[in-house]
Amino acid sequence: MSVSVKSLLSILTSPGPHRVMRGNLGIAGQPGVVYTPEEGHNLPAVAFGHGWLAGAGNYRRLLEHLASWGFVAAAPDTERGPLPSHLNLATDLLTTLDICAGVRLGGGSISVHPDKLALAGHGMGAGAAVIAASQRKVGAVAALYPAPTAPSAEALAPQIDTPALIVAGGADISTGNCTAQALATAWGGPMSLRTVDKATHNGIVEGRRALAALGAAKYEPKTERITRALLVGYLSYQLLGDKKYQPFADPEADIPHTEAVDPEATEEPEPEHVSPLQLVQMARALRK
């Protein structure tokens, strides 16, 4: 009997069976962190790009979770200032993949398969992952709550035929800070666009960060749990070929706490609400 998608999602929100080890990418010349299972050969690897005014440390739970499920998860810790270079972050993501695939990790007890590589990221890091994917072929791309970048990720998307998972917050997919729908519409390969119920684009960012003082960055534990489950399920199917996780790559699958979105669908515009100030201004105009 096949396991239901609901059961799979519940399983994937919990840590996997592997003990997690942490390492420093700086030893190989790239500032950043790497999380791995305790041992394993020909493992899949994911290079993860952080969001604006964040760093690799703000995604510790997400990276540890990937490692607990058998992935090597590495994140460069660069471009953390208010004026980051998205191109440089993309380059660092590719360098991170090179390190994962070319350097024996864990004292030689861990190796990565060169054909099981993925690029992922959050916010501007999602855009940087797309920029990197336009420069090198990988097995999968995961753009989590993507934000605008320069160059534009959606402008590069048509030339990328890599399978992609694009995730947006149900609360803000239509805002200017989220490029998920435009990215999905432009994507050149197989693509799944999905929103997480009631989630916002900063929900997966852990700990304190500069924007918290402005009330713009609130960690949402449920958003982070659902997102990491979607990510593990998707990558398990795309990189490992595990068919039981196929629904996580199906753009029409019914997955609890999420909604599949057709990027080509057009919604009826909501009626414009007139504010009290506009009513006063209209009344004054009619009196003239």
- Mean pLDDT (whole number) for 167-184: 90
pLDDT at 3 over 70: yes
The confidence band for 18, taking pLDDT boundaries of 50, 70 and 90, is: very high
Residue 280 has pLDDT above 90, yes or no: no
The predicted pLDDT at position 217 comes to: 58
> In the block, which residue shows the tokens 């700086």?
26
pTM of the model: 0.89
pLDDT in tens, 222-242: 999 999 999 999 999 999 999
Q: Which of 39-43, 89-93, 254-258, 282-286 has the lowest mean pLDDT?
A: 282-286
Q: How far is CA 217 from CA 58, 247, 256, in A?
A: 11, 31, 25
110-122, strands of its sheet edge to edge = 20-24, 32-37, 72-76, 40-49, 110-122, 140-144, 164-169, 191-196, 258-260
Predicted confidence at residue 74, as pLDDT, reads 98
Q: Give me the mean pLDDT over the 144-151 stretch.
A: 96
- Average pLDDT of the chain? 89
pLDDT at 277: 45
Per residue in 76-100, pLDDT (tens digit) is: 999 999 999 999 999 999 999 999 9
Q: What is the predicted pLDDT for the residue at 104?
A: 78
Tell me, letter by letter, the H, E, C secondary structure of the chain.
Answer: CCCCHHHHHHHHCCCCCCCEEEEEHHHHCCCEEEEEECCEEEEEEEEEECCCCCCHHHHHHHHHHHHHCCCEEEEECCCCCCCCCHHHHHHHHHHHHHHHHHCCEHHHCEEEEEEEEEEEEECHHHHHHHHHHCCCCCCEEEEECCCCCCCCHHHHHHHCCCCEEEEEECCCCCCCCCCHHHHHHHCCCCEEEEEECCCCCCCCCCCCCHHHHHCCCCCCHHHHHHHHHHHHHHHHHHHHCCHHHHHHHCCCCCCCCEEECCCCCCCCCCCCCCCHHHHHHHHHHHHC
- Per the CB < 8 A criterion, the answer to whether 134 and 142 are in contact is no
pLDDT attached to residue 208: 60
